[in-house]
Amino acid sequence: MGTSRRIIVVVAMAIVIVSNLPCIAAENKQKDEKSIWLEEGPRGPGGPERWPRRFELSDEEIGRIMKSLKESDPERAKQIQKLRRKDPNRFQFELGRHGGEEFGRIVRRRTERWWHQKQAEFLQWLDENYPQDAKELVGLKEKDTKLYWDKFGIINRKYRRIYEEEKRNPELAEVLKEDLQLKKTRDGLIEKIRTTKIDEEKKNFARQLEEVVGRRFDLIIRRKRFEYERLLKWVEQLQKQLEESKAEIAEWSNEKTKEENVKNRVNELLRGHSFRWD
């Protein structure tokens, strides 16, 4: 899956809507209806990284970018080079801004390496937890690449949530694993009920189905408690940030504070300091 792209990570704040628990509905409700039986509920903030973090360029990569930049824009390269010791953060920012194709190639290579590493980690986890699915994938990779990636996408969607939660909340991961197994049992019982011709067997399978659905209900409530606790912690963190921001604004709104900071900033600009206000 060699798709190359430049990643732009956007950090967004979610608005959490707290509503009453909806009434119990049938398992075959449509996805757009409010129902406790929805396969995926809100996960809350945070979680394992899906994209690579901002990286620092190596000396060798910097050399390649500067060489390319000197050939295309010598004056710009000279200006950027001056920042290397004075302001390393600004230096790397300007390299990314003006590095052109060479910088793009480095980003793509880093992103591809990161993707292959994450893919290998997921496949190893799959082999340890669901070996039959992992074995099926290996067989497809050798026979049909397109079919392999189609199957990989299906398996990834099926197990990704469990895989992610094992890293941050193993107890929730166990709940999700058990729920996945119950859904498999549920589907098997439904099929038996539909195909059996014997009334007594049909009633027996229906009783088993009711038991399985009841166990699933309890698991879903447990999952929602985990999600509620995660959201609660996130709201507490946001509240703390809001209070700090409010105090900061109050402090900076003081006329004397403004006067002192403006004078200090003017002195820094005249001395050629590279402190960044933006």
Give residue-wise pLDDT tens across range 235-265: 999 999 999 999 989 888 888 888 888 988 8
| Confidence (pLDDT) at 94 | 83
Q: Are 251 and 257 in contact (CB under 8 A)?
A: yes
- Three-state DSSP at 56 gives coil
Helix (H) or strand (E) holding 236: helix 199-252
Q: Domains of the chain: which residue ranges?
A: 55-125, 130-168
- Tokens at residue 206, please? 């229906």
| Confidence (pLDDT) at 93 | 82
Helix (H) or strand (E) holding 37: none
Closest CA to 67 of 81, 53, 51: 81
The DSSP line for 62-94 is: HHHHHHHHHHH-HHHHHHHHHHHHH-HHHHHHH
| Confidence (pLDDT) at 42 | 52
Give pLDDT < 50 ranges for the chain: 1-33, 47-49, 51, 275
| Confidence (pLDDT) at 24 | 30
| Confidence (pLDDT) at 72 | 86
- Tokens at residue 182, please? 């119950």
Closest CA to 93 of 84, 102, 275: 84
